Amino acid sequence: MVLKFLDRLEDPNNPLLGPTVLALRYGGLWQKDRVKHFLYNLVHFIAFLFVVSQYVELWIIRKNLEMAMRNLSLTMLSTVCVFKACNLMLWQNSWKELIDYVSELERSQLSKNDPVVNKIISDYVKYARRVTYLYWALVTATVVTVILAPLFIYLSSPNYQESIKNGSAPYPEIMSSWTPFDRSRGLGFCGATLYQMLACFYGGTVVANFDSTAVVIMTFFTGQLKVLSVNCERLFGDGNELVDYDEAVKRITECHLHHYYMVKFSSVLNSLLSPVLFLYVIICSLMICASAVQLTTEGTGNMQRIWIAEYLMALIAQLFLYCWHSNDVLYMSNKVDDGVYSSAWWSQNVRIRRSLLLLGGQLRRPIIFTAGPFTLLNMATFVAILKGSYSYYTLLAKKDD
């Protein structure tokens, strides 16, 4: 049943990005129809108002440290969600150009029926599917946990239930946000809860679609660098193949253009992701620290600890996905020129060898993704963020002692 559903997500026009493009369309982040365009934008605007209401509530409860930290942990994540949605909406043409390049290149390569290239494409497509579906499952689990956490907290604490019955405590909330009516009882509570549930689903949809699309395209660049390396290695066969000058120049030119367009579109992807990831890296550093403090606070109940632990795991998983796959692209871009020197270059004349040297020099240009203008997006950055968050946590812990 599940496999049949997943098969329906495939699109021959988008060999790699079929499921993600379909998810973007159904999520209102890939718009064509004018009527749907208006309705989807209305949803995005309502989500923006919800984030504003979270900041208003944060200002109101700023003196209560425990409530403020819980509000802040979700408000920051909501801010990133809206920022990601705006990125996809405002720069949709750039995203479309990038996705069209990915799909057109793969269709062109698959049509040549080269078994080596087809195997590389098949391998990274399968890997991308596993990452996408597992990440969607993680985001779904996080959304469900956030929505059900207040219910579990209520059921797990008899004292809290008694406090609610006698009116000394409000009903538990999914998220802390300001409303112009009393949301602690009756219809006001039901309306605020419904609004917060829809906001959770909206945020989960945006995060799942944006992150999976970005990570899958990073996987594409890693796979295509492998294809380029293999093509460079096979430029002149095993050395016994007779390759005339025109054919050799044609093959070198194809490798040159392949790398040129990868560098060009990786720059497009970086320009789209860098502002978002810069904001996310800052927020993630703060939220990992805040979540760790909440986990070790004595007043935090067991169900709250489970909710915070799952939320913390989702934060780290998002950051890890970006850093890991960006690091893979950088690693492959640094070794792609090995294919030139592994080829049968010695079988060619001096003119071809000079062209090969130029090609090898061009292939040494690395493909790097950044989080803003200050840091590279790689595993070293990931480890540095975790170390920094731990340092902030130990500082706060000592202050509390």
Least confident segment among 180-184, 198-202, 276-280: 180-184
Q: What is the pLDDT of residue 218?
A: 94
Is residue 200 scored above 80 in pLDDT?
yes
Q: What is the pLDDT of residue 102?
A: 93
Mean pLDDT of 312-327: 87
Residues 281-295 have pLDDT tens digits of: 888 877 777 777 776
What token pair was written down for 10? Answer: 């495939």
The pLDDT-based confidence of 230 (bands split at 50, 70, 90) is: very high
Is residue 182 scored above 80 in pLDDT?
no
Residues 121-137 have pLDDT tens digits of: 999 999 999 999 999 98
Is residue 227 scored above 90 in pLDDT?
yes
Q: What is the pLDDT of residue 226?
A: 94
Percent with pLDDT over 70 in the chain: 92
> What is the rounded average pLDDT for all residues in the chain?
84
Residue count of the chain, please give it.
Answer: 401
Is residue 391 scored above 90 in pLDDT?
no
Is residue 44 scored above 70 in pLDDT?
yes
- Residue 17 near residue 103, CB atoms below 8 Å: yes
Mean pLDDT of 50-70: 83
Residues 240-268 have pLDDT tens digits of: 777 778 888 888 899 999 999 999 999 99
Q: What is the pLDDT of residue 178?
A: 82
Residues 61-110 have pLDDT tens digits of: 888 777 777 777 788 888 888 899 989 888 988 999 999 999 999 999 99
Mean pLDDT of 307-333: 86
186 CB neighbour count, 10 Å cutoff: 11
Alpha-carbon distances of 351 from 14, 61, 244, 257, 363, rounded to whole Å: 40, 73, 12, 19, 19
Mean pLDDT of 163-181: 78
Is residue 358 scored above 80 in pLDDT?
yes
Q: What is the pLDDT of residue 325?
A: 92
More confident residue, 70 or 361: 361
The pLDDT-based confidence of 224 (bands split at 50, 70, 90) is: very high
Is residue 375 scored above 80 in pLDDT?
yes
101 CB neighbour count, 10 Å cutoff: 17
- Residue 207 near residue 318, CB atoms below 8 Å: yes
Residues 141-152 have pLDDT tens digits of: 888 888 887 777
Q: What is the pLDDT of residue 100?
A: 92
Q: What is the pLDDT of residue 106?
A: 92
Q: What is the pLDDT of residue 6?
A: 67
The pLDDT-based confidence of 36 (bands split at 50, 70, 90) is: low
Is residue 159 scored above 60 in pLDDT?
yes
Q: What is the pLDDT of residue 299?
A: 54
Q: What is the pLDDT of residue 399?
A: 54
Write down the pTM of the prediction: 0.89
Sequence ranges of the domains in the chain: 2-400
